[in-house]
Structure 1
Amino acid sequence: MRILIPSIQVPFISGGSILMTQGLKNALIKAGHEVEVVTIPFKFSPHSYIEDLIEFWKKQDFNNFNGFHIDMVIVLQFPAYYVQHKNKVLWLMHQHRSVYELYNEEKALEEDKQLKELIVKSDTQELALIKSRFSMCQNVSNRLMKYNNISSIPLYHPPFREEKFYCEESYDFIFCPSRLEELKRQDLLIQAMQYTKTNVVAIIAGTGGQKENYEKQIKSLKLVDKVKLIGHISDEEKETFYARSLGVFFAPFDEDYGYITLEAMLSSKPLITCIDSGGPLEFVINDETGFILEPNPKEIAEKIDYLYQNKQKAKEMGIKALKHYKSKNISWNNVVNKILGSK
């Protein structure tokens, strides 16, 4: 088949959305199909830009291009999922979160309310027209049902370089790789480290808008020897840090999916997350493959110390985590078979 994947990209920002889109393309090509990703730049403001982009995508007819018949379109994200095609499949990455679960009624301006009304109405109308609907996880499916009363089937996919993750004997550190952004909540780990009673260290990898703020927190709490911000690292370095860690900390607020959870499992490491972290809760079995805690630094500190003081137990939890990952049939073959088999 000849398949198109309409997409958006925020220039100079890379993340899970690009990996998911490229992973799908590669898997479809491997399965013998012709595939192209059609990308349009995106920015979060002003609202008029988003409104114009909504109308742009709604007017795009992807059935034919210069004599080439397009057999299928697979849509992943707002607002590219408004594109027109007679054979369209939804595999939902996420909607425009700022008008859904991240919307703040008290702080919203009139223009924010108008944008929310437009997007919710458009999503409800347009996504309901798609007969084959999947999402990348249960958390995303739950949101789609909650806000738009539209059902979808969760369909998990593996992280980038899935086969490269491995496990070695642990060193005395907790690993936390992610963009340094407010929603990722690395500050919970930083604050927790002031309450640890062992010699464990926290290593935080990544770049982002909270870097300066986190540096100030670390200094003010006198944690320069306990918390290390190491910035951007290569894939190979990331895999080594996973392999040698005592455990992994990943406690974002209401994460869509969370590759870090899967990467920790593939590295046979227990994961510390929180009850409001969203996607990771679909994979962590509390007290067996990791810990699901209140977003409370003192509670987090206790479990970090527990992993340090009970390294054999931490190792056993990590082994269970890898086994649990393998039980879920997370593969690109499964994704392709389900999406193409839906037609």
Structure 2
Amino acid sequence: MHIAILAPSPVPYTIGGAEYLWWGLLETINAAGEHQADLIKIPSPDRSLGELIQSYRRFAELDLDHFDLVISTKYPAWMISHPNHVVYLQHKLRGLYDTYPAHLPTALPDAADLPAAARPLIERLANGPARREELPALWEELAALEAVDPALTEIPGPLVRAVVHYLDRIGLQPPAIQRYLAISENVTRRKDYFPVGVPVEVVHHPSHREPEPAMEVDSGDDNGNAVKDKPILFTASRLDSPKRLDLLIRAFRRIKADAELHIAGTGPVEAELQRLAAGDPRIRLLGWQSDAAIAEGYRRAAFVPFIPYDEDYGLITIEAMQVGRAVLTTTDAGGVNEFVVDGETGRSVEPTESALAAAMQDLLADPAATAAMGDAARAKVADIGWPQTVDALINPSAQRPRLVVATTFPVFPPMGGGPSRIYHLYRELSRWADITLVTLTGEASEAGTYPLGPGYREVRVAKSRRQRLQEQVMGRRLKASVDDIVAMDNPDATPALREALTAACQNADLVVASHHYLYPLIRSVWRGPLWYEAHNLEAEMKAAVLAPALEKGSAAARRALARVEAVERDCARDADCVLAVSAEEREALVDRYGIDRDKVLLAPNGTDTQAIAYTDPAQRRVNQQAYGVEGRFTALFMGSWHGPNIDAVWHIAGIAAACPGMDFLLMGNVCDAPLGELPPNCYRLGRVSEAEKRRWLATADCALNPMTSGAGSNLKLVEYAAAGLPVITTPFGNRGVGLKANIECLEGEVRLFPDILARLRAGEPHAGTQLVEKARRRVTDTYDWGVVAVVVREHLPLPAGTDWR
């Protein structure tokens, strides 16, 4: 492979741990000879918002597609778009993440208080999804900030923090990244460092300094003559505040032993440390030292103290242990404690002068025990080396399962509940498996192969003229949408679909029938493991769709419904695993088709909680003022053109008539259905852009879910809750999601909705504000697609040698 190690070049230029990591990877890859690597660096100043944005933009617009693999480790290099991008994360811009000053706010300023030029950006950061296609608009909005009050763009500050978090979410979001790795467990635990739910591999890398054999512990005079029994404590570090060398010096001054403390390095607090050390001849600040001198310092040391605060990794720990030296650290030192086991490979004590002084005294008092800890330390890091690190980065230890998912409609971009479920669920699963969607479209111009991310693609086949004619004939006869039934009954109507499915199934580990309509075609080309993804109990759903024809005694409708039920029964019984969207649907499938309950896996409809911004009530008031709807109480309903949603709109019409002082917003192509005349306070928004949808989710006062018919579960309910909207739902509409009544949602029959709305508007304590945070937490913990995917992942068939459990 041709491998690019992509990195920022700091401005002004300095050499630190990141540079040594990149050089080590580069040298090791090229020395092995199997692959060729290059280190590609772009100057990346970050002293102002303008510099930061330009640095992020340079990487976002960089084209390295002539490389087979790109490895990035540090911001903003991970902004590159590449089909095979591996992130080996060292750290983010820590001053805007884990070391962001506690006294500074994190909330964005109110858009209403800002100049007009800043408002679109504030809205995007507060409510917008972090997607790569949003970048052009984002660059324009950021450019407009140049004329805004400089105080708004101070670093650190809430606006710059929000901008960098937004950009990092775009760069690191799955499935844009093929694999996620980190240099330490400590890095993986930091808040907002990785997308929720992604698997992160920890790979400890070595130092650039090659370990040399240890020597007898002694010191020396200025002429190089050995001075026995005068042990040295040696450490090497950049002299800055997070390394807490001031604490180390104060602790050392407490001990009475005839020992010396040698500190190698330079940095901004050097003068302060010199003042602290003054008067104690045992303490020597050595200044800059060569690699050879530092290696010598480790070998001569009795042990190595290293007490930084929340260190990413701590190469000094590795360097010391590789030459057999015990390490003294503190319990809050972060990555250092992945190697220092208190009493075994060194000491890890509370970060106080007294605790550190006592530990130093103990280590000096028992040289044999300290030496034994050093031996254990060497063994602890024996397997850390450059070949092992490179191998972990470019040679995944396990083969990814290969899944084929077949359905009768196009998936991307997701429009409606079924495509949305398929796209998001399998996008999440593509973190661990290679997934091919095989789909049908009625538009020849839409046919083709669509890469949806690393290891994730949609192969979309245009329906043949024969299949389209069959759909028209059957649809006119039954006066219903029957495209899926035609595909089920005529598996050879579109030969190109059979060809595409056959090709996709070669070397597959699993095929999923997403809906059962392509089951006859699947089983004619694939005899391996099969799953059935039951979006609904389809026999019941199609009974509702065909109800008008059935009520007129249509024999064709009865035959079609019987066929739907028979094929669904065969598919459910044949499948090794059935995915059900709710506990109720699981029981219905078990009861109707007599399948084993143990093979039915609950995989509820979810949402991308990271893409749906949570808006608290205070921000809603600000948004309402900005959009000119303050003073009007607005209730939102979203739905597709689907029988149960049309029923819900008719219910809303009755509710609106009873609540003339409120506005009712109808969103989605349910507005295209023949709804008849609606009350004047019902507004048909129709099918809207994602941006407008996000705007109303962040502006409306509440969301309605007056469902009284249908099957499956309501994805809209999850979206409402994720956005922070108080939800009013019927018990039937709450099925499959199960928000707790009067704790996470407001629940009642349709006739009670006007009274519930009135109480919500009046601000009764239990009726709004207290619900939304609990509902959001419930959705995030249970219905985020990342969470759902992890549950499904555990049941996937694994190729030989694969084990993620």
Under a length normalisation based on structure 1, what TM-score does the superposition of the two structures give? 0.92
Q: Is the 8 A contact 1:167 1:268 kept in 2?
A: no
Distance 2:187 2:370 in 1: 30
Unmatched runs of 5 consecutive residues or more in structure 2: 106-150, 220-230, 400-805
- Work out which of the residue numbers 393, 397, 400 in structure 2 matches 1:339: 393
TM-aligned CA deviation for residue 146 of structure 1: 6.2
Q: Does 1:45 align with 2:75?
A: no
Q: How far does the alpha carbon of each residue in 1:12-42 deviate from its partner, in whole angstroms, 9 at most, with x for none? A: 4111100001111111112322211111223
Aligned 1:185-334 pairs, distance under 5 A: 185-219=244-278, 222-223=279-280, 225-326=281-382, 329-334=383-388
Distance 2:290 2:102 in 1: 40
Q: Does 1:17 align with 2:76?
A: no
Q: Secondary structure at the match of 1:238?
A: helix
Runs of 4+ in 1 over 6 A off after TM superposition: none
Q: Which has the bigger relative contact order, CA under 8 A and spacing at least 6?
A: 1
What's 2:168 paired with? Answer: 123
TM-aligned CA deviation for residue 126 of structure 1: 2.1
Q: Secondary structure at the match of 2:208?
A: coil
What's 2:4 paired with? Answer: 4
- Work out which of the residue numbers 186, 196, 203 in structure 2 matches 1:139: 186
Q: For structure 1, which segment, 166-175 or 139-148, has the greater mean C-alpha deviation from structure 2 after superposition? A: 139-148
Q: How many residues in Structure 1 have an aligned counterpart in Structure 2?
A: 333
Q: Is the 8 A contact 1:254 1:277 kept in 2?
A: yes
Q: Mark the CA change 1:333 to 1:233 in structure 2 (over 3 Å): closer, same or farther.
A: same
Aligned 1:41-120 pairs, distance under 5 A: 41-63=43-65, 69-107=66-104, 110-111=152-153, 112-120=157-165
Q: For structure 1, which segment, 205-214 or 135-144, has the greater mean C-alpha deviation from structure 2 after superposition? A: 135-144
Opposite residue 337 of structure 1, the aligned amino acid is: D
Q: Is the 8 A contact 1:200 1:305 kept in 2?
A: no
What's 2:452 paired with? Answer: none
Q: Mark the CA change 1:306 to 1:261 in structure 2 (over 3 Å): closer, same or farther.
A: same
Q: Does 1:152 align with 2:200?
A: yes
What's 1:164 paired with? Answer: 212
Q: Secondary structure at the match of 1:164?
A: coil
Distance 1:41 1:60 in 2: 13
What's 2:497 paired with? Answer: none
Under a length normalisation based on structure 2, what TM-score does the superposition of the two structures give? 0.40
Distance 2:44 2:353 in 1: 36
TM-aligned CA deviation for residue 197 of structure 1: 1.8
TM-aligned CA deviation for residue 144 of structure 1: 5.9
Structure with greater Cα Rg: 2
Opposite residue 54 of structure 1, the aligned amino acid is: Y
Distance 2:259 2:359 in 1: 11
Distance 1:269 1:89 in 2: 34
Distance 2:52 2:385 in 1: 34
Q: Mark the CA change 1:155 to 1:285 in structure 2 (over 3 Å): closer, same or farther.
A: same
Opposite residue 180 of structure 1, the aligned amino acid is: L
Q: Is the 8 A contact 1:206 1:232 kept in 2?
A: yes
Q: Secondary structure at the match of 1:143?
A: coil
Q: Mark the CA change 1:214 to 1:141 in structure 2 (over 3 Å): closer, same or farther.
A: same
Q: How far does the alpha carbon of each residue in 1:16-72 deviate from its partner, in whole angstroms, 9 at most, with x for none? A: 100001111111112322211111223331222112211221111211xxxxx2111
Q: Is the 8 A contact 1:169 1:243 kept in 2?
A: yes
Distance 1:70 1:147 in 2: 25
Distance 2:239 2:78 in 1: 28
Distance 2:46 2:256 in 1: 43
| Alpha-carbon RMSD | 1.8
